[in-house]
Amino acid sequence: MLRDWRERQTNLTEQAALKTALEQSGQIRLADDLFTFTEGDPTTPHKNNGDPEQDQDVTTPLMLLPNTTNSPSTATATPAAAAAAAAITTTITATSNTDVTSSTSNYPQKDFDDILEEVAKRVRKNLEIDKLGRKLGFSPEDIEGYNATNHKSQNITYDGTLQMLRDWRERQTNLTERAALKNALEQSGKNRLADDLFPSSQ
């Protein structure tokens, strides 16, 4: 699917278009992880002193998707580029799986996943999970499903809560996730937990 889509793009538009599509489909973290640009927003053209011959986007991306066509290309893929399309497919598939093992564990900042697990361990009551879930933007039906996962076995677990937090993280970026989680914890009444995990110095 991705390669068929790429046939309808150009070298200049494909990365910005894919990044936009990922963000609009809720895969914000994946877009943030795969596409880091050396200058500003890749969708914003850079002007060159009014010279019409140079009035074009000169932003250089750090990652390019592999060229699968036989036509000449002015773009050169980085060593990591060959894995980009596969990473997208793998991540999108993983987010539809209810298993608590999340594709986000493949990405940097593993310490934040540890924070998510600590939150899941300490937010155990159904009412607390419901409050936090609402502040994170989940519907009552979604929260009920996560709670049901916690009660799947004879022993109550925090698997569903952890999955809820990891699913929420997919809609965040590295720059927003900490402040957003701290804010949600405080608004749901878990001020001490927020203070323990995110001291004011951070």
Q: pTM of the prediction?
A: 0.55
Residue 151 inside a domain? The answer is: yes
How many structural domains compose the chain?
2
Residue 202 inside a domain? The answer is: no
Q: Measuring CA to CA, which residue among 189, 187, 140 is closest to residue 164?
A: 140
> Of 95, 114, 145, which one is at a domain's C-terminal end?
95
pLDDT tens string, the chain, 202 residues long: the values are 998 888 788 888 889 999 899 989 988 988 898 986 544 444 444 444 445 444 444 444 444 444 444 444 444 444 454 456 666 766 555 544 444 334 333 444 458 999 999 999 999 999 999 999 999 999 999 999 999 999 998 899 999 999 999 999 999 999 999 999 999 999 999 999 999 999 875 5
CATH number at residue 149: 1.10.533.10
Q: How many CB atoms lie within 10 A of CB 142?
A: 15
Residue by residue, DSSP assigns 132-188 as HHHHTT--HHHHHHHHHHHTSSSS--SHHHHHHHHHHHTT--TTTHHHHHHHHHHHT
- 107 with 193, same domain: the answer is yes
Return the pLDDT at 43. 46
In three-state secondary structure terms, 190 is coil
Cβ pair 123, 70 in contact under 8 A: no
- What does the alpha-carbon distance between residue 67 and residue 154 come to, in Å, rounded to a whole number? 51
Structural domain that includes position 85: 2-95
